[in-house]
Structure 1
Amino acid sequence: MRRPQRPLPPADDSASPAAAGDDGAHPLPGNLPAELNHFVGRENELADVARMLEESRLVTVIGVGGVGKTRLATRAAALLEKRYCDGVWLVELSAVHDAGLLEHAVADALGLTDHTPRPPRAALIEHCADRDLLLVLDGFEHLVDDCAALVRDLLRRAPGLRVLAAGRLPLELAGEAVYPLATMTDEDALRLFAERAAGVRPDFRLTEHSRGPAQDLCRRLDGIPLALELAAGRLRALSTEQVLQRLDDRFRLLTGGSRSALDRHQTLRTAIGWSHELCAPPQRLLWARLSVFAGQFDLEAVEYICSGPDLPADSVLDVLSGLLAQSVVLREDSPAGTRYRMLDTVREYGAEWLAATGDTDRLRRRHRDWFLGLATWCELDWFSPRQAEVAARVESELPNLRRAMECSLESPQEAHLAQYLAGTLWFLWVGCGRLSEGRHWLDHVLEEETPYDASRLKALWVLGYVAVLQGDPVGAISALTECREEAEEAGDATAAAYAVHRTGCLALVTDDLERARDLLDDALGRYRELGELNSNVLMAQVELAMSTGFLGDLERAAVICEEVRDICEDHGEQWALSYALYVLAYATLQRGRPERARELLEKSLSISHAFNDLLGTVLSLELLALVTVTEGDAAEAALLQGAADRIWPSVGLPLFGSAHYGVPRARCEELALRELGGGRYASALRAGGELGPDAVVGRALLGRAGGRERARAGTDEPAGSAPPAPGGTRRPAASPASGRGGPERR
């Protein structure tokens, strides 16, 4: 049954994507971006969309490019935020070209991390099934059939879900309400032009003298918001009358003087084309070349990919600044730093010009080569204090990395480059919570028949690694056996070492501890011979410590992890450190020192959660629950256990619920049941199951002090804590303590 909705808030400017909740204390869940400038007009349209969402679970806003579909949809969603208990979530699909990545894009927008080998659609359906949320799908038209199928399945299985879509054509599903978005009214168009003009020229005012030309200009542009904003950008150099004169000449030239012959799409193309003509030749050239990017891009990439004899690298910044001044390119700040992007309609126009020059293929290869190099650098830099920065960088570049793999797969002769890229990005798939997408790409690139060179062998062991973490032992052993056999035949000692290592990891999680210990010892010996030292090698040591500790030698396990901790501190490594701390906490608790175990676990949990590492998070939570019941707070321990139970299905490793990894949970359950009894224990478990990862981690990190504060306050709510991040949203990877990055999930 759909949960009761809160009253619809008034459609005023106080409602924004970043607005606080009802009490003003906690942010609402969701990921709507903050508005960069004031939303102008469209009051009737906003009311219409809100009314249609009351009556239909699927509303699609359609219209020509540049008419303002995205802005209207996100504005309407922001005004309706308070009605959806589980948030409003924007999914931007324009940069997703592979239909196989559609579900991954939706899951990513929802902040859903699922490590299981089940189809991503199944994970999405399960996630949405009992939630009350609004999903905003933008820019889906190139994936319309696949998107329609996904939306149909989600709506059928998730009664609390509503979908607001924005695109150039409807999804054509039963029950869909279609809202054709018209251009702006004359009054709204004039308001928009005046406001944007004032942003360019602070002294701009609508006066008796300027109002007439401005109205004529808005009518010439048919009230299309993008066209109006492009025209307003021209006021840096021209008066309104001059803009109107040049635009009027352009219209007559293209239409033979027949104003009525202009449909709205042609009007927009005319406005963009007019802006294109007014650009200097280097600006036109850069505009065309920028069209090879997907999503955001940065200055370094532009200088490498787009420069040449006709556009020297040292001139690119000035030329790019010119495009920024004319609103052809937009600037955005992100966790990865200053980024740029182009609106889809503007990008498409540039792509047509690039194709006309015959330079598309060369620019796409140049783009691919840059991102191959970027991935290589990021892999090396992952083993450094810059892990969080690397994670932020590859997250922001994911659309471009996807496009680079797609480019390589278009030619059989270059498929090995796609294999290289998919293998090199192991730290993205494993360390940044993207196992499912990594599995998609690794399976895909390995379908191509290529020689067993280093690229293919690396993709194989990474595939085996991902399969281990997904709880797929059959897929893991198949890939790892093939990798090891071919590596030994080819004399590739590095690939063979990684295959042995990951086979040992598989043995560890399947409780074959003696074999795990032997394989991991073997792998570490091979790594020493090769002089290999990186994050993977440290994880092999941690895994050896786990197998050793589970076999009863806690002293040796602790010694191994102390060595790992020293190396991590020397190199600024974080994700391997989080697992070393977990093992040290396990050994410390066995020695009867719960307070010290808590200190170690709190640091481990903080790192794991900040890096979106579900496996590390859930293991630390369960061990913390055991520490908590040992300290005498059985109710809080049961609550932490209930929260861990909620996370485990997304980890997807039933193998980790084994006789060894399951010991802390079983012991905690025994002690808590003895203290609380069945009824209170079950109630605390249910309460924990209601908490999302952000909330439970914030609570757990309060430790014993938080328990004392809650006891004094007579409440189970965490006291003195900062509010959790909204609804499981992915945190910016600014630092291991505050952002996404990624300890590798063993």
Structure 2
Amino acid sequence: MRGYLPEEHSSFVGRESELTLLQDLLKARRLTTITGLGGVGKSRLALRAARQAAGEYPDGVWWADLSMLQTDRLLVNAVADAVDLSDHTPRMPIDALCEWLAGKRLLLVLDGCEHLLGACTALAADLLTTVPDLTLLATSRQAMRIRAEEVLSLAPLAADGADALRLFTERMTDGGRPLQPHEEAVAADICHRLEGIPLALELAAAQVPQHGLAGVTAKLASRFEALDGSDHAWPPRQQALRTTVGWSHELCRPLERLLWARLSVFADGFDLAAATRVCAAGPLAEEDIAATLQALVDQSVVQRSGDRYRMLDTIREYGATWLHELGEEAEAAGRHADWCLQLAARARAEWFGARQMYWYARLAETHSDLCAAMEHLLATDPPRAVELIGSVGFFWVCCGHLHSARAYLEQALARCGTPGPHHAAALWSLGVALTLQGEYDEARRISARCTRHASRNGDADDRLDAAYLAGVLALLLGRPLEAAATVDRAQETDPAPDSGMEEPSAARLRCRLVSVFALTGTGRLAEAREMAQEMKQLCVAKGEFWTRAYLNYQLALIALLQGEPREAAGHARAMLVGKRGLGDSFGVALGLDLLAAALAAQGKGEEAAFVSGTSEAYWRATGHPQRGMPELGAMRAECERAARAAVSDQTYEAAFHQGLLGEPAQNLARALERVQG
């Protein structure tokens, strides 16, 4: 299946007629919104329908989880991430998204629109207007109310029907307490009381192992009798769900209720260490978190998958309400921001080393929480917002989150009037983002500011990174001598403690990388090759990937320029393996260009055409035409000329379009296999 859909971790029960209707609607209408109360199963129905319909959409089915967004600021960016768009241009994100989707026949699911309904409605209208072959499926507690929309109002399971009873008994079995034949009438009564609402049934089933069916029935009966209609946070038609969630809350021990409330500050999933760092305070001690969290899992309040945990929206909302009543919102958000700051600081400190790949993955899975922390700090503590985005900005830029990185960097710097010790790092990340977006004039202005702040308030690494940014800009503007002079001067001003190459900092290594590029750009290939090989040995010894990938890029280019295309192909392949692991679409596009040139130089015209097509697909995902050093234009032209000379034009075009139109990640894997073979 092309695209991305979340895994289903429990059985899907019933909904046959709704699935059939939804499949028909997806074929007939361009926008279908599944509406219904919280906990009724909107997301599960959408997920099952999308998976069943996958074969109808040659460009894939894609899932955008919007529940973790606190504001609509990054809505379009979140959807772009969901469809694998890594836009590297300064365009408005909606323009980039529409252009990327144009001409594609795909299904896009927008899950959880209700808290951003106005923005989601505007986004859906824009997409439907500009992308004629797009089908949208949304889930929301309210309809969007636009002309193209068809609404499927999802009711609970029939309270006295077989599906509600089956769901309840299957979840009982999942919890280790199978239903006995003589208990069926009691179970059916529980389903009736809970009005067939799936989430309510699952929460009640989780209580059976501890309280028994009779105990669950008695507790529910007393809860319903206690309802007085005074809680306006829950509409009357959600009385059964309110009762069950509230009852589940009552059954929790005091520390479990406190943890439930504090966990609501997480925007997305979390692990035990994060829960401990954010939630342990006052009566809830660190040593209590593991057992308390497991108790919430046992009661289906928290869901677990591997070492990751998360709460459903309805459950998290209840916890957030309780957190507000406790008066702990600001304190909990502050601890959450502290945790994000510590995580980001460790990631930056360990960037150059064996844990580099780990930190790229770690920051990717905590992206929503980092954004939530940024929103909190922008409102309460701008200097710490600068510190946070200064630490993660380069990671985000390298992984394609350019728009969100730039937006947060600009906001944090604007709100923090007095420059502090983290300004240089933030300006450096902003300069890199602008450079990758092709805004060289603005990037040079930011580069000059970065250099000034680094000189006044920064440390040696800040000054070296400022030189790296200025050097990269000089390279991209076709000035390799200026680039070399800039980084050489910085390294002389801040010499390494040890003159050898054993333990340079990440910033110093980046400056040396600019030196390698500059040597190649001035034709000093032997010197560039020697320096690149020495640096690569160091990176291999340290287990580092980002710098090593660009060193492999340089070694491939040098080998190609020296007439060694087989060696060039090997280095290009090594670069691509590293960039694929880092999720760097821009780097992958550069590497594929070199690999295609190396294959063409060996007379492998069809393979070169396929790789060129795959490269073009990656370049389009970045929103740019082919970019890089100015001298690479001639190399690309020669690649196409040599490839066409080796095969017929018809063969070249067929292979090129196969690479261009196929699934990019799969075609990248095929390209790597061909070189390996």
Greater shift, 455-464 or 649-658, is seen at 649-658
2:565 — aligned with what?
594
1:91 — aligned with what?
64
Kept after mapping to 1: 8 A contact 2:476/2:630: no
Residue in structure 1 matching 2:443, options 473, 476, 491: 476
Q: Output the TM-score relative to the length of structure 2.
A: 0.94
1:502 — aligned with what?
469
Partner SS for 1:454 = coil
Aligned-pair CA distance for 1:265:
1.6
| Structural mapping, 1:699-710, within 5 Å | 699-703=670-674
Q: Does 1:347 align with 2:320?
A: no
| Structural mapping, 1:75-154, within 5 Å | 75-154=48-127
Q: Which amino acid aligns with 2:469?
A: R
Distance 1:289 1:686 in 2: 52
2:425 — aligned with what?
458
Q: Which amino acid aligns with 1:193?
A: F
Distance 1:203 1:122 in 2: 53
Kept after mapping to 2: 8 A contact 1:535/1:573: no
Q: Does 1:298 align with 2:246?
A: no
Greater shift, 94-103 or 440-449, is seen at 440-449
1:656 — aligned with what?
627
Using CA pairs under 8 Å that are at least 6 residues apart, name the structure with larger relative contact order, 1 or 2: 1
Kept after mapping to 2: 8 A contact 1:405/1:418: yes
| Structural mapping, 1:5-20, within 5 Å | none
Q: Does 1:390 align with 2:363?
A: no
Kept after mapping to 1: 8 A contact 2:605/2:645: no
Q: Does 1:189 align with 2:164?
A: yes
1:177 — aligned with what?
150
Change (3 A) 1:194 1:490: closer
Map Cα deviations across residues 583-619 of structure 1 (whole Å, 9 max, x no partner): 1122223333222222222111111123222232222
2:540 — aligned with what?
569
Residue in structure 1 matching 2:416, options 430, 449, 470: 449
Change (3 A) 1:76 1:171: same
Kept after mapping to 2: 8 A contact 1:255/1:262: no
Q: Which amino acid aligns with 2:438?
A: G
Greater shift, 607-616 or 414-423, is seen at 607-616
Partner SS for 1:239 = helix
Distance 2:396 2:648 in 1: 42
Q: Does 1:367 align with 2:342?
A: no
Aligned-pair CA distance for 1:492:
5.3
Aligned-pair CA distance for 1:342:
0.8
Q: Which amino acid aligns with 2:166?
A: R
Distance 2:235 2:538 in 1: 68
2:190 — aligned with what?
217
Greater shift, 112-121 or 32-41, is seen at 112-121
Distance 2:524 2:321 in 1: 66
Distance 1:98 1:73 in 2: 23
Aligned-pair CA distance for 1:537:
3.0
Kept after mapping to 2: 8 A contact 1:470/1:651: no
Greater shift, 142-151 or 661-670, is seen at 661-670
Distance 1:102 1:551 in 2: 44
Map Cα deviations across residues 285-318 of structure 1 (whole Å, 9 max, x no partner): 1111111111111111211221123111111111
Residue in structure 2 matching 1:608, options 579, 591, 610: 579
Q: Which amino acid aligns with 1:640?
A: V
| Structural mapping, 1:513-662, within 5 Å | 513-529=480-496, 533-652=504-623, 656=627, 659-662=630-633
Aligned-pair CA distance for 1:234:
0.7
Greater shift, 466-475 or 645-654, is seen at 645-654
Q: Which amino acid aligns with 1:49?
A: L
Q: Pairwise CA RMSD of aligned residues?
A: 2.1
Kept after mapping to 2: 8 A contact 1:222/1:264: no
Change (3 A) 1:674 1:407: same
Change (3 A) 1:478 1:654: farther
2:241 — aligned with what?
268
Change (3 A) 1:343 1:299: same
Change (3 A) 1:62 1:670: same
Change (3 A) 1:537 1:417: same
Change (3 A) 1:193 1:416: same
Unaligned runs of 5+ in 2: none
Map Cα deviations across residues 437-457 of structure 1 (whole Å, 9 max, x no partner): 211211221221321112222
Aligned-pair CA distance for 1:349:
0.9
Unaligned runs of 5+ in 1: 1-27, 707-746
Map Cα deviations across residues 13-32 of structure 1 (whole Å, 9 max, x no partner): xxxxxxxxxxxxxxx11211
Aligned-pair CA distance for 1:705:
6.8
Change (3 A) 1:90 1:375: same
Kept after mapping to 2: 8 A contact 1:471/1:654: no
Map Cα deviations across residues 146-166 of structure 1 (whole Å, 9 max, x no partner): 111111111111121111111
1:725 — aligned with what?
none
Q: Which amino acid aligns with 1:169?
A: Q
Aligned residues: 668
Change (3 A) 1:29 1:673: closer
Map Cα deviations across residues 498-521 of structure 1 (whole Å, 9 max, x no partner): 222201111101112221121122
Q: Does 1:379 align with 2:354?
A: no
Distance 1:277 1:52 in 2: 41
Aligned-pair CA distance for 1:124:
1.3
Change (3 A) 1:678 1:192: closer
Map Cα deviations across residues 38-81 of structure 1 (whole Å, 9 max, x no partner): 10111111112122222211010111111111111111111211
Q: Output the TM-score relative to the length of structure 1.
A: 0.86
Distance 2:515 2:581 in 1: 25
Partner SS for 1:382 = coil
Aligned-pair CA distance for 1:683:
4.3
Change (3 A) 1:618 1:526: farther
Q: Which amino acid aligns with 1:587?
A: I
Q: Does 1:201 align with 2:182?
A: no
Distance 1:106 1:276 in 2: 34
1:47 — aligned with what?
20
Aligned-pair CA distance for 1:640:
2.0
Map Cα deviations across residues 260-283 of structure 1 (whole Å, 9 max, x no partner): x99332221111011111111111
Kept after mapping to 1: 8 A contact 2:557/2:594: yes
Q: Which amino acid aligns with 2:634?
A: V
Kept after mapping to 1: 8 A contact 2:173/2:179: yes
Distance 1:605 1:305 in 2: 38
Q: Identity across aligned pairs (percent)? A: 39
Distance 2:270 2:324 in 1: 20
Greater shift, 134-143 or 533-542, is seen at 533-542
Partner SS for 1:170 = coil
Distance 2:655 2:186 in 1: 69
Distance 2:103 2:604 in 1: 31
Change (3 A) 1:491 1:238: closer
Change (3 A) 1:571 1:657: closer
2:376 — aligned with what?
407
1:440 — aligned with what?
407
Distance 2:229 2:457 in 1: 69
Q: Does 1:423 align with 2:390?
A: yes
Distance 2:674 2:136 in 1: 40
